[in-house]
């Protein structure tokens, strides 16, 4: 079992920044792919970013603004979000899987989500 707990969400002004954290516990492994997804009200959950080893992948709408990183010693993955837009408003979910893919079915473990709200 792997447990994931997100934190760091909140309310921010347009153009502001937030850093999300995802703490993993249980049967964790540095070999897991760690990813971030988001879901806005009434919308499908969509891929944001993922990392595995030295490889990183980003959705087009966050390239140049968001950065994913991980600290294996702390079993924690981060999502640094800069230049936030109103359209970024969503619940952000941390996920762990075995393959660096953008589809949500590729991730077996999920956190409960943390709300990010960007005011316009």
Q: Based on C-alpha coordinates, what's the Rg of the chain?
A: 13
Alpha carbons 92 and 55: distance in angstroms, whole number: 21
**How many whole angstroms separate alpha carbon 47 and alpha carbon 101?**
9
Q: Which residue has the tokens 């950065």?
A: 67
Task: Band the pLDDT of 100: cuts 50, 70, 90.
Answer: confident
DSSP character at residue 74? G
pLDDT in tens, 13-46: 999 999 999 999 998 777 889 999 999 999 999 9
Q: Are 7 and 99 in contact (CB under 8 A)?
A: no
**H helix count then E strand count, the chain:** 0, 11
Mean pLDDT value of segment 80-102: 94
* Cα pseudo-dihedral 90, 44, 108, 17, rounded to 10: -20
């Amino acid at each position: 079992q792997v447990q994931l707990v997100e934190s760091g969400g909140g309310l921010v002004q347009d153009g502001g920044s937030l850093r999300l954290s995802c703490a993993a516990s249980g049967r964790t492994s540095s070999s897991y792919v760690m990813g971030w997804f988001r879901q806005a009200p009434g919308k499908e959950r969509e891929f944001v970013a993922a990392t595995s080893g030295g490889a990183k992948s980003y959705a087009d709408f966050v390239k140049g603004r968001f950065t994913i990183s991980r600290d294996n010693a702390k079993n924690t993955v981060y999502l640094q979000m800069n230049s936030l837009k109103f359209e970024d408003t969503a619940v952000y979910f941390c996920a762990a899987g075995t393959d660096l893919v953008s589809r949500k079915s590729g991730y077996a473990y999920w956190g409960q989500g943390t709300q990010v709200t960007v005011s316009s």
